[in-house]
Chain A
Amino acid sequence: MTMTTKIAFLLLGGIALSGCSEQSNTDAGSTGATATEEMVETGQVASSAFDDAYSAAEAALAEAAANRNVWSKTENLLRLAKAANNDGRADEAIALANEARLQAELATAQMVSEKEAWRSRVLAE
């Protein structure tokens, strides 16, 4: 086989392989998305879930602050959540945000409960 013929076979083979690769990407998803596009879409969903969790935690913290009873670990949990999200650790970030929200909700519930409960501890005259 001459050199020219060998080069022609290599070129033809490359074209054929690139066609296969496009074929497999097309088969992978019903939307026809590429692997890269799927990763972007998944990342956006995760980002949205984190944003929701973070916003909910912020709102709960604001309510606790309005009740003048923020637990001391809560704000740092939110900071850690944001850092985890920035690092791409979405599941961890959402868990941390949810923990912060739970703490803030409990702090508010504590103040609601204590609004009357404190009286039971007052030493009787």
Chain B
Amino acid sequence: MAMVNYYTQRFPAVPMQEFANGLYAFNEDAREQWLEMEEFPLYEIAVEDGQTHFETSFANGKSYADCFENGGIGIRQNYPYFDSEAGGVVTLELAINQCRAANEEEPLPYGTGKLAEISAYMSFTSRGNVVAVKVPEDDPAALAAFEAGKQFYYTRRGQLNFSCSSCHIQSAGLKLRADQLSTTLGHTTHWPVHRAKWAELGTLHYRFAECNSQVWAKPLELQSVEYRNLEYFLSYISNGLELNGPASRR
């Protein structure tokens, strides 16, 4: 894949799996701080809370385990996937709320809070599993969703006129204020994330919205078609990497 080749040539000293750690793969000082955060990671509380939510039955007596293959344990590597019947990309977070809807429960907000905690627990049970996102070549709608995600990634938007690629391809490894910009390879493996900046756990789409805000574009809705297609594209790029979420970030 062209993007994978681009990063391995640009950062020849970074082992492939290390790309899943973002800028901590090539910034020694930041990596030291990150490893300290990981000694007593704040997402651990979220994982515990997430497990409690996950294992608590709905009012009808069913639970999240009834909605997912393998009871929802160790399955994150298969998400997102393209639902040919529904005609759209299904992310793990969307599937959690779909499960709630199927059991007549109110949907949860997609950015932070309870749903992010459930996602964190499911990510934690999937650690070490290899990303295996499928884009079936015989499904034109799936290919179209993938291409739409790719287009979103490369499209300039907002008053500052940046695309995702402006920072994460052209400027990957370069400084943006106090941080180095991470590579797209490995971007989706470690979510949800406890960001020190947020002082809480947030989902990947929560970060998408923040990125759009940072280029002075009004964020789209979390789990909108555009963001789900973008996640589909980004996750496919990281196929072959091991999941390592949830994670700490600053």
Interface residues of A (CB under 8 A from B): 68-75, 103, 106-107, 110-111, 114, 117-119, 121-125
Contact = CB atoms under 8 A, between A and B. Distances in A.
Q: Which 9 A-B pairs have the closest CB atoms?
A: A118-B154, A70-B218, A123-B2, A71-B159, A118-B155, A72-B216, A114-B155, A125-B2, A121-B154
Contacts of A124: 2
Interface stretch (B48-56, B129-137, B161-169): B161-169
A72 B6 contact: no
Given A110-B156, A114-B156, A123-B169, A71 B3 contact: no
Interface string B133-164: 00000000000000000110011111101010
Interface of B: 1-3, 6, 150-151, 154-159, 161, 163, 165, 169, 213, 216-218, 220, 226
B147 to A, nearest CB: 10
| Interface residue SS majority, chain B | mixed
B219 to A, nearest CB: 8
A75 to B, nearest CB: 7
B154 A122 contact: yes
Contacts of B150: 122
A72 B213 contact: yes
Contacts of A69: 157-158, 217
Given A69-B158, A71-B158, A110-B161, 14 more contacts: A68-B220, A69-B217, A70-B217, A72-B216, A107-B159, A111-B157, A114-B155, A117-B156, A118-B156, A119-B154, A122-B150, A122-B154, A123-B6, A125-B2
Contact of B216 (A73, A114, A117, A125): A73
B159 A73 contact: yes
A70 B212 CA distance: 10
A103 B2 contact: no
Given A72-B159, A110-B161, A114-B155, A123 B3 contact: yes
19 contacts: A70-B218, A71-B159, A72-B159, A72-B216, A72-B217, A72-B218, A73-B159, A103-B159, A107-B159, A110-B157, A111-B155, A111-B157, A114-B157, A117-B156, A118-B155, A118-B156, A121-B165, A123-B169, A124-B2
Contacts of A117: 156
Nearest to A75: B218
